[in-house]
Amino acid sequence: MSIEPVLFYIFSAVLVFAAVMVIAVRNPVFAALFLVLAFFNSAALWLLLEAEFLALVLVLVYVGAVMVLFLFVVMMLDINLTPLREGFIKYMPVGLVVAVIMLLEIAVVVGPENFGLDQVAPPPRHGADYNNTAELGSVLYTVYAYPFEIAAVILLVAIVAAISLTLRRRPQTKYQNPAEQVLVRREDRVRLVKMEAEKAGSAEGAEGD
């Protein structure tokens, strides 16, 4: 027996455990860290499927960028979680029933009798010179160019939406404008005022200036 099934079961078990912990732990920082663990394990599963490019991208993008940002947000926001959990016990029985039924349905269908090796042939093995990234690129920008462009538009909408929801112009806020500071001229700041010389008797008070 090869080592691959053993690795698969180890990674899958950790993945399921991490996914459950994401919603089960109380501390949102731990939840985010468990999500990172889940991402790493699914990346490992993809490596076993010879999808090494996707596995690396998952780690780089989701763990490296998205989850780090997410952790920042979770740490910055001061959310009191107690009111969010108020109805938890009350709704849990209903939620559990629904979840268990759905889990059973999925388990019955997505099993060996429908997706076993006799139903779906295993994908062919490729040699070490097989380039997964090039294969992906060659279809992504040709056959799947249309979905690719729509995905790009979705990202543009996300940018527009995020900016329009968060940009708040505050005219009262005091801030420095370095450009104006650098371009300032002597005449803008210093004003020479010609004054008559004052009488000697009252000059004592003015000397301090």
Partner 1 sequence: MVFEFPNFVPALAEIFVLTMACVVLIVDLFLTERNRVITYLLSQATLLGAAVLTVSLHNNSTELTFSGGFIRDGMGDVLKVFIYLVVAVVFLYSREYLVVRKLFKGEFFVLGLFAVLGMMVMVSGHSLLTIYLGLELLSLSLYAMVAMHRDSMPASEAAMKYFILGAIASGMLLYGMSLIYGATGSLDIGVIADTLRMSPGDDMVLLLGLTFIIVALAFKLGAVPFHMWIPDVYHGAPTPVTLFIGSAPKIAAFAMVMRLLVDGLGPLHVQWQDMLVILAALSIVAGSVIAIAQRNLKRMLAYSTIAHVGFLLLGILAGTENGYAGAMFYVLVYALMTLGAFGMILMLSRAGFEADEIEDFKGLNERSPWFAFVMLILMFSMAGVPPFVGFYAKLAVLQAVIDAGLVWLAVLAVLSAVIGAFYYLRIVKYMYFDKPGDESALQSNFDMRATISANGLLILGLGIYPSGLMALCVTVLR
Interface ranges with partner 1 (CB under 8 A) = 105-106, 108-110, 114-115, 120, 139, 142-147, 150-151, 153-154, 156-158, 160-161, 164-165, 168
Write down the least CB distance from residue 9 to partner 1, Å.
21
Least distance from partner 1 to the Cβ atom of residue 122, Å: 14
- Nearer to partner 1 by Cβ, of 173 and 176: the residue is 173
> Do the Cβ atoms of 87 and 41 come closer than 8 Å?
no
Of the two residues 163 and 197, which places its CB atom closer to partner 1 in the complex? 163
Give the containing element (helix H, strand E) for 96: helix 88-109
Nearer to partner 1, 88 or 146 (CB): 146
Please report how close the Cβ of residue 196 comes to partner 1 at its closest, in angstroms.
49
Q: Tell me whether residue 85 or residue 199 sits nearer to partner 1 (CB atom).
A: 85
Both tokens of residue 171?
A: 């005219």
Return the structure tokens found at 130. Answer: 């097989």
R_g of the chain, CA atoms, integer Å: 32
Helix, strand and coil content of the chain, in percent to the nearest 5, comes to 70, 0, 30
